[in-house]
Every structure is written in C-alpha cells, then in structure tokens.
Chains A and B, each alone.
Chain A
Amino acid sequence: MNKSGEVKALYMSNNPETRKPDELTNGRTEIARMGEVDQFSVEELDRLKIISGSMQNSKILNIFRELRTQLLKTNKKNNFVCMVTSITHGGGASYVAGNLAAVFALDKAKTSMLIDANLYAPSMEKLIIGGAKSGITDYLSDPSLDIKDIVYATGIPRLRVIPIGDNGEGAAEYFSSDKMLYFINEIRTRYTDRYVFIDAPPVTESSEARILAEIADLVIVVVPHGRATREQIEAAIQIVGKEKISGLVYNN
C-alpha cells in the first residue's frame, strides 16, 4: 500500500498534463528517473512470466528481442499502437503482449504502455504493485476520470499499464466511441518514444477485438500450439485485414 502510494505520487508529480512545454523536450531525463521506482526482482518476474534483462533463460529474451526488431523494422518512422490478439481464448495473447511491452521497455530510450482490453480474462493488474482502482472501461464510461487516473506504474522500469477496470458491460460500444479514439491518439502522441500495446480478446470470437484492430496500427496474431486449425488462422487474418497484420507468433 505504501509502495503503491509512492508510485502514484511520483507519477502525479511527473504528470505531463501539469508540466510546462519546455519540460516536454526534456523527456529523456524524465524517463531515466522513471526507472528508479520500486522494481520486481528476477524471481518475481519469472513467476509472472515476464522477461527481464538479467533473466536466466536468455533464449526467450532473445526471441522477444527478435520480435521487437521485426516490429521496428516495419515501422521505422515513429512509435505505434500494436494490438496483440489470439485465435482462441487462453491462446497466450496476454503473455505475448506483456512481454512485448517489457522488451520495448528494456531499451532505455523507449517506454511502453500496455492496455488491458481483454474483457474475458484481464490479467495485467498483477503487474501493478499495490493494485489498481480503475481502468480503461471506467475511463470511457465515466467523464470525471482523467487519463492520468488510469495509468499505473509497474514493477518494470519504463512500463506503464492501463488495467481493464470494473465497468466491463458495453465495452464494445465504448471501444468504438470517439473518446476511445481521442484516448489512443493522446497516448500515442504524448511521447514519441512510447510504444502502445493492447492485449485484446481472441479476434475470431469477440467483436471488441475487431473494433480495436481498426484503431491499432499493427496487429499480431498469436497462434497457440495444437489449438487452431489452418482455416481459423486464415479467417482471423481476413478479419483483421492483411494491411494491418504484422505477422503471426506461434506460441508453444
């Protein structure tokens, strides 16, 4: 509780909304300071299945680094909003999204934002030390809430999380609202070195994922081992649209 309060206070003090314009140019020092908050240990990260720079299984780390390189290669100019979805429930989209955000955050010149939009199996709150009060659904339904109220720091440096929140009903309508567009745009343009990742529900089994795919710049489809047929994969690619598909990630 104490730890959470400190993080919140720190974030509040660094809230861009309250800062002067000259401070915006000085973002890098700010990012460096962000890493100084309380961090997860390697063991904790292992248990959370989140990679870290000093983890023992460097194979997994390298695979996510490779994935990062490939995503950056296709979008050289600036930052992007990347949606990660799966073919079926429990396909590992949250795992991929979390680790993708973590691997981008490993780079000290970048920050990453992870939005939990997986209404059916939200899982990102565990990254937030001390828990979260409200999330994206609350923000979209409650005009009194500000963006800064739903962005939480995590035990991982340079990684921010927006949890799902408590107001899951009618989420599809909220996601297709103007406020959602404004929200995404705001997050993306605030910092040019911030990379946004959306953990979406399975694309073939929910309408929310289709709406989110339209908002996102890139889409990664996670193919779980032994749970998707070729026809299902082809259908998912068709739903998302070939121009937005960045590629498939095969998850053993």
Chain B
Amino acid sequence: MNFSILIQYLDVIFREMWQRKFWCLLGFTVVSFTILTVGMFWSSKFEASATIFADNQNILKPLLSNQAAQSKVQNQAKVVREMMHTPRILKKVVERVYGMDSFESADALGQKINRLRSKVKVKGLGSSYIKVSYSGKTSEDAYHVINGVVDVFIKLSADEQRSESREAFLFIDNQVKQYKDQLVLAEEKLKDFRAFNFDGGERNVDASISRLRTQIEDLKISLDEDRSTVGVLKKQLGSESEYTSNKFTSDVYGERLAVLEAQKNTLLMTYTQDYPDVVSLTYQIADIKQDIKSAVENKAALKNKPMTRSTDENSILNPLYQELRSRLSQVQTDIKAKEKRLVAFKSLKNEEYERRKRIAERGAEESELTRDYNVTKRIYEDMLERKERARLSMTLNIEGQGVTYRIQEPALPPLNPVGLRFLHFVMIGPFVGLFAVIGLIVLFVLLDQRIRIPSLLAGVGAETLVVIPHVKTPFTKRVVRGDMVICFFLGCMIMVAYVCLAYASKIGLI
C-alpha cells in the first residue's frame, strides 16, 4: 500500500467519522465512562519484597579445603521456591500471620494456603541472591506475610540442615564400627595362619633339594668307581698265590687282625656299635679270625700229610696277596656303606619334595588372607577419614557455619500500590474511547463493500472520466461550522463531566 492510498484511506475514515459524529461522541462517552467505572471498583495492590542471600561460600571453606563436605546447591532460587511453596512452611506462615484460630474450617485454611502459594513469588538475582515478593490488598498484609514467609523459611532450613548432617555422621560412624570388626577378624586369621607354619620358605627347600641331589650324584659316581675297583682287585687276587708259606699266612692274618681291631677301636671312639662302618669292621674281624683259625687247622693238616704240599712249613702269606685282599675288603666295605647312605639320601630328598608341596599349598592360603586383610584395612581407613569429615560438617552446621540463608535486605511496608491505579484508569479512559471509535470506523471502512476510493473503480468495465471533489457551498460551510461548534461543546461537556466524576470518586464522594 503506497502513501497516497494511505492518505486517501485516512481521508475516508475522517469523513465517515464526521458523518456519524454524534454516534462517535456517544461511543466515546460510553467507552471512557465504562473504563472510569472499572477504575472506581479496581482494588489496588501492595507489594512487599525481601532479598535472601544464599551463603554457600563462607569464611571457613578455604581453611578446610576438602575436609568437610558442604552441601552443594545448584539452582538456589528453584530450591527456595520449592521449599517456600511447601504446605508445611505456608501453614506455619498462615498461623503466624493470621493466628491459629482465624480459620473456621480446614477448607478455608487450605484455600488461604493455596492463595499464598500463588502470590508468593521467588526470583533468582544472580547466583546467590534470591528475591521473595508478595502482593496483598493492604500494605500491612503484604509486609506481615513476606516477613513471616522469610523468617519461617530461614529457621526451617537451618533446622533441617542440622538434622541432616547429624544423620549423615551417625550413619558413617556405624559403618566405621562394622569395618573395624571385620578388620580385627582378618587380622586374627592371618596371625593364626602364620603361627602354624613351620615349613619355612620355598627357597630353603629348593637349596636343600639341590644339595641332596648333588650328594646323591657324587655318591653314585663313587659307588661305580668302587665296584670297578672290586672287579680289578678280584682279578689280581686270582693271579697271586695266597701264601709264600703257611706260617706267613697266619702271621699275615694276625697283622691284619690287629690293624682292623685298631681301626674298629678308633671308630668306636666316634660312632656307636651300629654305625655301618663299625658293623662292617666287626664282620671283617670275625672273618679274619675265622681265616686264622682255618689257617692253623690247615697247618696241622699239613703236618699230618706232608706229602700233599711241596711247600714246606716255612712257606708264609704272600704280602701282595694280603694287600690286595685287604684293599678288596676295604672297598667292599665302602660300597656297602655308600649304598646305605644313598638310600638315606633318597628318602631325605623325597621328604623335601613333600615339604615343598606343602609350602606351595599354604602360600595360596596366605595370599588370600593377606588380601582380605589389606582390602578391609583400606576401606576402614577411608571410612575413618570420612567419619572425621562428617563430624566436622556436623559441627559446622550446628555452629551455623554451613550453607545457610541470611536476610540480605529485610522487607519494608510498601508505601505505594503497584500495578494499575485509579489515576491510570482516569488517564487511559478517553484514549481508549477515542481509539475504540476510530477502530470501529476503520473496521467498518475495511469491511464495507461500497466503494469509497475512486482508484478502486479500475477494471469495472468502463473508464472513470473525472472525479468530482466534495463541493463546499457557503451554506454547507455554515452547516459544517455549526456542527463543529456543537461537537466541540458536547466534547467539552463530556470531558468536564468525566473529570468531575473522577475527582468526586477520588475524594470519596461516590
């Protein structure tokens, strides 16, 4: 829509208004006086507000660092709103402000609480400041209610916090006791286990086993040596003659016997009768004695039959033969002794193996017990630390140093009402009347199908030859002037009546 069309529309609207000037005046009067009347019956509102400071950054925090767990609240305004709107707080407020017995039924009390809930507004101002406002019909009502709400809220929130941290402390304390019992039990088990473990360490057993093995190997080699020595000695003995002479033979036996006796005596000084070497020597001595005896018998036999032996009595024991026999006997004795020792070593080795198995089994058991003990201990220590923190938090809250709400700005009795007042109605009445009339005319012009602007005739089937303007003759001019004067006076009268009515209402005449 371009500018000239707009001008034409304005002209049309003004013309329509002028044609219906008295109706317009009537409409204006009705609307503006209606608004004035509404203003007379409009009750004004008083709003009181207080600012609460949510103190979660107090002086102790830097000193304690993480030692005391302090309640963390994210959206303070929301929390405060939820708390203030609870029936518990609102009921206390109603009882405090209006008295316990001012409500006849529970229903009336409930309605009052609901009204308070809808009227108490909580708004966050930044992170820590919260504004609580209430609008009531009178200044006193607004002031008392807002004071009641804020006081009750602060008191209840402090109480709640105290009981909360006390409960937390008691809970943790109980947990600590339970863990302590568990720890003591684990400790006992570990002690018992350690008291009954004689097998020593795994390393000891390993060393012992390896030592035994070496000894067994050595012994086996030594036995092999001895056995081959026995074979060689026996062969040599076969090639040597026993006696150089018989006498010599028994002499040799005698010497041999003496040596063995001496050896046995020497051993008996150190070992008991049943030591393998001693036993072996005893056997040998017995053997030699037997040999000597047989040699003497042989000698006697030889005396009786001198013919059988070419050799004479003077023949003696061959020394080399004797030596070989002696050595053979010695080696055989060694073999016997070593075989016994080998058996003993083997049994020892088996014993060590058994011990080692036992040690492995007990090791698994021990690590389980130790683990149990360590875990319980760690948890217990942690709990102990928590308990101390909880104790600190509890103390803080009891002392009033935790998260608390303080009244930053106390409520004041409101002096002036808020919102629409009578004066506003008085002022807007004439404007609303004027705009209502103009609006109706505009609506009429827009909705009415009849043509009021010549340019709208385009395309109707015939061209527009000329547009004749409105002709003002002196007579019509006079009529218009008369109408204007009448309208002006009517308008003035309406406004005077309006102002008088408003003033009368203001000073209380109506």
Tell me the A residues contacting B by CB distance below 8 Å: 46-47, 49, 57, 59-60, 63-64, 66-67, 70-71, 92, 96, 220-221, 223, 225-231, 233-234, 237-238, 242, 245-252
Interface pair A46/B450, CB less than 8 Å apart = no
A223-B457 CB under 8 A given contacts A96-B468, A228-B450: yes
Q: Residues of B contacting A246 with CB < 8 Å?
A: 465
Contact status B466-A59, CB under 8 Å = no
Contact sample, A vs B, 13 pairs, CB 8 Å cutoff: A60-B471, A63-B468, A63-B469, A228-B451, A230-B449, A233-B451, A233-B461, A242-B461, A245-B462, A247-B462, A247-B465, A250-B454, A251-B468
Could you count the A-B residue pairs with CB atoms below 8 Å apart for me: how many are there? 91
Q: Do A249 and B464 touch across chains, with their CB atoms under 8 A apart?
A: yes
B364 within 8 A of A: no
Q: Is the CB of A233 within 8 A of B468?
A: no
How distant is the Cα of A211 from the Cα of B205 in the complex, in angstroms? 147
With A225-B452, A233-B451, A233-B460 as contacts: A220 and B470 at CB distance below 8 Å? no
Quick check: A226 and B464 within 8 Å, CB to CB?
Answer: no
Which residues of A sit under 8 angstroms from B464, Cβ to Cβ?
247-250
> Contact: B471 with A49, CB < 8 Å?
yes
Decide yes or no: A250 and B471 within 8 Å by CB, A220-B465, A226-B450 being known contacts.
Answer: no
Please report the C-alpha to C-alpha distance between residue A225 and residue B452 in the assembled complex, in whole angstroms: 5
B479 to chain A, nearest CB (A): 13
Query: In whole angstroms, how far apart are the Cα atoms of A246 and B465 in the complex?
Result: 8
Q: How far is the CA of A105 from the CA of B319 in the complex (A)?
A: 199
What distance in Å separates the Cβ of B5 from its nearest Cβ neighbour in chain A?
Answer: 15
Question: For A229, what are the chain B residues with a Cβ–Cβ distance below 8 Å?
Answer: 449-451
A226 touches which of B452, B462, B474 (Cβ 8 Å): B452
Report whether A230 and B460 are in contact in the complex, using a CB–CB cutoff of 8 Å: yes
In contact, A252 and B462 (Cβ under 8 angstroms): no
Chain A residues within an 8 Å CB radius of B452: 225-226
Evaluate contact between B469 and A59: CB separation under 8 angstroms.
Answer: yes
Query: When chains A and B are docked, how far (Å) is the Cα of A238 from the Cα of B461?
Result: 9
Interface of A is mostly: mixed
Query: Could you list 19 further interchain pairs (A-B, Cβ under 8 angstroms) beyond the known A60-B468, A237-B460, A246-B465?
Result: A46-B474, A47-B473, A49-B473, A63-B469, A70-B465, A92-B468, A229-B449, A230-B451, A231-B449, A238-B461, A242-B462, A247-B465, A248-B460, A248-B464, A249-B464, A249-B465, A249-B466, A250-B454, A252-B467
The residue in chain B whose Cβ has the minimal distance to the Cβ of A92 is B468
Chain A: CB-nearest residue to B464: A248
Expressed in whole angstroms, the minimum distance between the Cβ of A68 and any Cβ of chain B is 10
Q: Does B251 contact A (CB under 8 A)?
A: no
Report yes or no: A237 in contact with B462, Cβ–Cβ below 8 A: yes
**Complex Cα distance A223/B467, Å?**
9
Q: Is the CB of A248 within 8 A of B463?
A: yes
Give min CB distance, B471 to chain A, whole Å.
6
- A220 to chain B: closest residue by CB: B465
Chain B neighbourhood of A227, CB < 8 A: 450
The minimal Cβ–Cβ distance linking B458 to chain A, given in whole angstroms, is 10
Chain B stretch 262-311: residues in CB contact (< 8 A) with chain A: none
Give chain A residues whose Cβ lies under 8 Å from the Cβ of B471: 49, 57, 60
Q: How far is the CA of A57 from the CA of B463 in the complex (A)?
A: 26
A19 to chain B, nearest CB (A): 37
> Which residues of A have CB within 8 Å of B473?
46-47, 49
Q: How far is the CA of A223 from the CA of B452 in the complex (A)?
A: 10
CA of A237 to CA of B16, assembled, Å: 27
Query: Which residues of chain B are near A233, meaning CB under 8 Å?
Result: 451, 457, 460-461
Is B475's beta carbon under 8 Å from chain A? yes
Q: Is the CB of B475 within 8 A of A248?
A: no
Q: In the complex, which of the residues A70, A228, A248, A251 contacts B462, with contact meaning CB atoms closer than 8 Å?
A: A248
Residue of B nearest to A60 (CB): B471
In the assembled complex, which residues on chain B have CB atoms less than 8 Å from the CB atom of A49? 471, 473
Interface centre among A67, A225, A246, A251 (most CB of B within 10 A): A225
Given A223-B457, A233-B451, A237-B461, A47 and B468 touching (CB < 8 A)? no
How distant is the Cα of A228 from the Cα of B456 in the complex, in angstroms? 12
Residues of A within 8 A of B454 (CB): 250
- Interchain nearest-CB distance for A98 vs B (Å): 12
Distance between B414 CB and nearest chain A CB, rounded to angstroms: 55
A63-B466 in contact given A46-B474, A49-B473, A223-B457 (Cβ < 8 Å): yes
**Nearest opposing residue in chain B for A43, CB measure:** B474
Distance, CA A47 to CA B16, complexed state (A)? 25
Residue of B nearest to A227 (CB): B450
Q: A59-B469, A63-B469, A67-B466 are in contact. Are A234 and B460 (CB under 8 A)?
A: yes
**What are the residues of chain A within 8 A of B461 when measuring CB–CB?**
233-234, 237-238, 242, 245
Which residues from A are CB-within-8-Å of B469?
59-60, 63, 252
Q: Are A66 and B466 in contact (CB under 8 A)?
A: yes
A66 to B454, CA, bound (A): 17
Q: How far is the CA of A49 from the CA of B469 in the complex (A)?
A: 13
Q: Which single member of B448, B451, B463, B474 contacts A223 (CB below 8 Å)?
A: B451
| Contact for A47 among B462, B463, B467, B475, CB less than 8 A | B475
Contact of B470 with A252 in the complex, beta carbons under 8 Å: yes
How far apart are the CA atoms of A221 and B462 in the complex, in Å? 9
Report the minimal beta-carbon distance from B499 to chain A, rounded to whole angstroms. 36
Inter-chain CA distance A9–B196, complex, in Å, is 168
- With a cutoff of 8 Å between Cβ atoms, the chain B residues found around residue A60 in the complex are 468-469, 471
Contacts of A251 in B (CB 8 A): 468
A221, A238, A250: the one contacting B468 at CB < 8 Å is A250
Could you tell me which residues of chain B, from 412 to 470, have a CB within 8 Å of some CB in chain A?
448-452, 454, 456-457, 460-470
- The interface residues of chain A lying within 8 Å CB-to-CB of B474 are 46-47
Q: Which residue of A lies closest to B12 (CB)?
A: A226
Residues of B within 8 A of A221 (CB): 462
Q: Which residues of B contact A245 (CB under 8 A)?
A: 461-462
B424 to chain A, nearest CB (A): 38
Say whether, besides A46-B473, A233-B457, A242-B462, A249 and B468 are in contact (CB < 8 Å). Answer: yes
The CA of A11 and the CA of B465, in the complex, are separated in Å by 35
Q: Is the CB of A67 within 8 A of B457?
A: no
Using CB atoms, name the residue of chain A closest to B456.
A230
A245 to B462 CA separation, bound complex (whole angstroms): 7
Instruction: Find the B residue at minimum CB distance from A62.
Output: B466
Q: A231 to B461, alpha carbons, bound, how many Å?
A: 11
Point out the residues of chain A lying under 8 angstroms from B462, CB to CB.
221, 237, 242, 245, 247-248
Please indicate which of the listed interface residues B456, B461, B463, B466 has the most CB atoms of chain A within 10 Å of its own CB. Answer: B466
In this complex, which of B452, B462, B471, B475 has the most chain A Cβ atoms within 10 angstroms of its Cβ? B462
Q: How far is the CA of A49 from the CA of B477 in the complex (A)?
A: 13
Closest to B467 in A: A250
> Which of A63, A221, A226, A234 has the largest number of chain B CB atoms within 10 A?
A226
